[in-house]
Every structure is written in structure tokens, then in C-alpha cells.
Structure 1
Amino acid sequence: MRFEAGTQVAAGAEQVWAVLVDVEGWPQWTPSVRRAARREPGPLAVGATALLEQPRLRPAVWRVTELTRGLSFTWESRSAGVRTVGEHRVLPLPDGHSRFELALTQSGPLAGPVGWLYGDLLRRYLRMEADGLRRRCERG
């Protein structure tokens, strides 16, 4: 199952990227994340992990699997029967603004039932994250 959200942001890609990779700051701009804790110091990099606590979901550890500095990162989390991949992209636009896109893809033997049970919640959370990041970046 795949869930997606995106938004245009009236801010430059560098600014959007800086807010996005400050994972521990996410609870300040999206109500979909109650707590975020990086497990290693330093900039976000391949192999880095973070613990996310979200309302109505079990805490999950996410590991960065791909990162193109300034443009995108992908991370994954695994739980019993489900592998979830989260993609985050910041696309610079010709007018100096940006487009932010994010997606969750779930696979594994329990992905169907989990998607059916939590699909609406996941869609809502992705929308909250896209809109929250936009508001945070646009207010400076």
C-alpha cells in the first residue's frame, strides 16, 4: 500500500531541507509526531536512526536508507509483518519556492490489513506533516 501527500512551500529548498532534517524538531510543527529522538549525534546520514512516537501508533525506530543532501531522504521501519518505507523530497522550483513531497509504502504479509485499519490515519498524518512543514517554513 502507498500513501502520498505534497505541498508547495513559499520558501527556498535549503530552508525547507533544514527544517525537514531536524527530526527532533518535528513535534514543534506537526501534531502527528508526539516525540522524535535521534539515536546518533550529527547530521542526518545513511544508517542514522530515530525513534518516533505518534498518537494512536506504536513507537517506531526509523533507519535512513538513502539520502541525497538537500533533496531527499528515505528511511524504513519494521514491525511484525510490515515494512514501512518513508520518502521525503524537497524540490526547488524556478520561482525560488519549493515543493515538498512525502510518501509511505507498506509491504509484507500484514501490510494489507494494517493499511486497511490505519490507512485513513496515515493519510491524515501525511497531510498534517506536509501542511505543518509548509507553515513552519513560511513563517521563517
Structure 2
Amino acid sequence: MKLKFSSSVEIDAPPEKVWALVNELEQWPQWIPSIKKIEKLSEGALGEGSQIRVTAKSIITVRLLMTITEFVPGRHAVMQGKVLGTRMTRYYAFEPVNGGTRLTAGGEVSGLLAFLVRRGGQALSNEIVQAAKRKIEGEHG
């Protein structure tokens, strides 16, 4: 069984600006408290096939090795990996709306501890979209 999670927010900025912030993965720990470290493990520009290692802390600290499986600049990115014995897919979508952007962070998990991992995935998705909104709107607010 796959368990889904998702969080969205409207940000008063064009999709290109929101994408530019989210696309700088190695900077995430500076504006998302639960993300402790992100390392790009692949050579070259970030894109389909790139591998990243994410260290995040909620209830416990977890390290995820994720592979980007879809990458459409300014529109969406999808990555897959495993954590705590579960298979996880995470996605980020950028949709133009009302002169700004709807940023959605979400995903799905399956496996033995999927219920637990889904809770962490939901909490992190909520934190990412709200932190992006604060960071971008705070720059010109």
C-alpha cells in the first residue's frame, strides 16, 4: 500500500524565482531547520539521474539517498529513494497562479514503516513550503 502526503502554499513571486530557491538544494539547511545537510553526489548540473544525500531531523535523524527521476526546470522535480526500509518518492511542483506561484511538496511511501515515514514526510513538506514562502516574501516584504 502506498501512503501519500502533500502540502501547498501560494507564494507572491513568479515560478522562476521560487524554482531558483528550491533548486539550490545545498542551501536548504540555511532556511529549512529540519534539513541538516544536503550533498550533491553526482557530477555536473542538477538534473535527471543526479543523486543527492539528505540528512534530516524530525523525531530521529535520517539520511536519505535520493535519485532525481524527473526534472523539468521551473515546473517540477521528482526524486526516489529508500528510508527506514520504505520506498519513498518526493516531488516538488511549481504552478503559476494569481500572479505568483503555488509550490507543492509531497510524495508517497510504501513498505513496513510507511505510516511512520509518511508522518515525517508530511511534516517536512509542510515545513519546506512555509519556509520557502517566508524566505521569498521576506526578501521583498
User: TM-score, normalized by length of structure 1?
Assistant: 0.88
- For 2:48, which of 42, 46, 51 is the aligned residue? 46
SS at match of 1:70: coil
Superimposed CA distance per residue, residues 60-109 of structure 1 (whole angstroms, 9 cap, x where no aligned partner): 1111000111110000112464210001001112x32100001120123x
Residues 1-140 of structure 1: pairs in structure 2 closer than 5 A: 1-55=3-57, 56-79=60-83, 81-93=85-97, 95-108=98-111, 110=112, 114-140=113-139
Closer, same or farther: CA 43–89 of 1 in aligned 2, 3 Å: same
Closer, same or farther: CA 41–96 of 1 in aligned 2, 3 Å: farther
Superimposed CA distance per residue, residues 99-127 of structure 1 (whole angstroms, 9 cap, x where no aligned partner): 0001120123x1xxx23334433322211
- Give the distance between the partners of 2:118 and 2:84, measured in 1 at CA: 17
- Give the distance between the partners of 1:119 and 1:107, measured in 2 at CA: 9
- Give the distance between the partners of 2:42 and 2:48, measured in 1 at CA: 11
- Give the distance between the partners of 2:117 and 2:64, measured in 1 at CA: 15
Most deviating of 39-48 and 20-29: 39-48
Greater per-residue strand proportion: 2
One-letter amino acid of the counterpart of residue 136, structure 1? K
Residues matched between the structures, number: 135
Measured after TM superposition, the shift of residue 5 of structure 1 is: 0.4
**Runs (5+) with no aligned partner, structure 2:** none
Closer, same or farther: CA 41–100 of 1 in aligned 2, 3 Å: same
User: TM-score, normalized by length of structure 2?
Assistant: 0.87
One-letter amino acid of the counterpart of residue 52, structure 1? V
Contact 2:106–2:121 (8 Å) recurs in 1: no
**Runs (5+) with no aligned partner, structure 1:** none
Measured after TM superposition, the shift of residue 43 of structure 1 is: 2.8
Most deviating of 73-82 and 30-39: 73-82
